Amino acid sequence: EDKAVLVVGSYAQDLVWNSKTFPAPGETLVGKFRTGPGGKGSNQAVAAARVSNGTKVMFCGCVGDDLFGTGARDFQAKQGIDVRVKVHPTIPTGTAGILVNDEGQNSIVVALGSNLELKSEDVSDDMLQSAGIIVMQHEIDPAVNEAVLSRARALGVTTVLNPAPMAPISETTLASVDILAPNETEFATMLQQRGIEVNVDLSKDPIEQVTTAIAEASAALPVRTVVVTLGSRGVCVYDKEAMDTPIFIPAFHVHCVDSTGAGDAFIGGFATKFVENGGDVVDAAKFGNATAALSVTKEGTAPAMPTRGEVEDMLQD
């Protein structure tokens, strides 16, 4: 039977305020408000489902017994996701307060709420066995990441960790990761925490220096594949066993309306394509790259995820 994409992680209700600039401390600005489905895990599952060509996408998480939680499950089901969500009786659904300025940049505060109530047992062996890839992030209890990734590894499922938002990663967790997929800031910070020196500014220095630095730093990490997203510059893919040097995939140039969730779009697109193509990471990253580019052209996170057709058109031009 065809393998599925399994995303285990967070849902958050996004509460979004748009203003021309970000407010300075003590400043009040007048702006616009909207709310919608978010949370890194759910966003990734939505992206994966929208770009899927028949590959099943499962989402496992925990919401509260409230309107946001009901809305989350309805929204996910409408995207064709196989929703495996636990409902906690008392702890409220996670929320994210998001500020977006006129340049499409964002600042976020997340209250994890019910997401912290997800347990390893909530991810059944059946779910893991049906998955060709499992994707996790940093918006649930880190002990659950550790336990679930290790169970997935034991069952031979390809494991992806998107260490967002930035938090220390335990050695045990890292030991169960096949594909580590941070953004440039998360990558630099995690290297710093491990005492690995990087003398290159990954977000500014020339790409050649960046790819060299990523190759050197990756050598010291116990993961086979490192996929570092570099924002509007693109993405760098390095499979240590199959490549001599990392491969850089430049970003598509698009008009950025709202970059919130672009990283999630990348991961979702990557995961679906990876299952479809039998594990070709470069091809999957190219697909994720287009998925992310399209997502920034629209307002919002999950609702901004593109369709399969849109991604294919972008890759063909």
- If binding is defined by CB under 6 A, does position 116 make contact with ligand RIB? no
Strand order in the sheet with 94-100: 32-38, 12-18, 94-100, 106-111
- If binding is defined by CB under 6 A, does position 182 make contact with ligand RIB? no
Measured from the CB atom, is 100 or 221 closer to ligand RIB? 100
- Give residue 214's region: left, alpha or beta (phi > 0; psi -120 to 50): alpha
Measured from the CB atom, is 39 or 61 closer to ligand RIB? 39
Provide CB contacts within 8 A for 299, sequence distance 6+.
34, 257, 258
Interactions with ligand RIB, residue window 25-64 (CB under 6 A):
38-40, 43
Helix (H) or strand (E) holding 313: helix 308-316
Whether 264 is catalytic: yes
Q: x/- string (CB under 6 A) for ligand RIB, residues 5-24? A: -------x-x----------
Q: How far apart are the first and last CA of the chain?
A: 33
Which of residues 246, 261, 288, 306 is near ligand RIB by CB under 6 A?
Answer: 261
Which of Na ion, ligand RIB, none interacts with 96 (beta carbon under 5 to 8 A by kind)?
Answer: ligand RIB
Calpha distance 213→184 (Å, rounded) = 11
Please give the single-letter amino acid code of residue 119: K
Helix (H) or strand (E) holding 20: none
Interactions with Na ion, residue window 254-293 (CB under 5 A):
258
Which of Na ion, ligand RIB, none interacts with 14 (beta carbon under 5 to 8 A by kind)?
Answer: ligand RIB
Query: CB count, 10 Å around CB of 8?
Result: 28
- If binding is defined by CB under 5 A, does position 190 make contact with Na ion? no
- If binding is defined by CB under 6 A, does position 211 make contact with ligand RIB? no
Q: Which residues are catalytic?
A: 264
The footprint of ligand RIB (CB under 6 A) covers 12, 14, 38-40, 43, 96, 108, 110, 139, 260-261, 263-264, 301
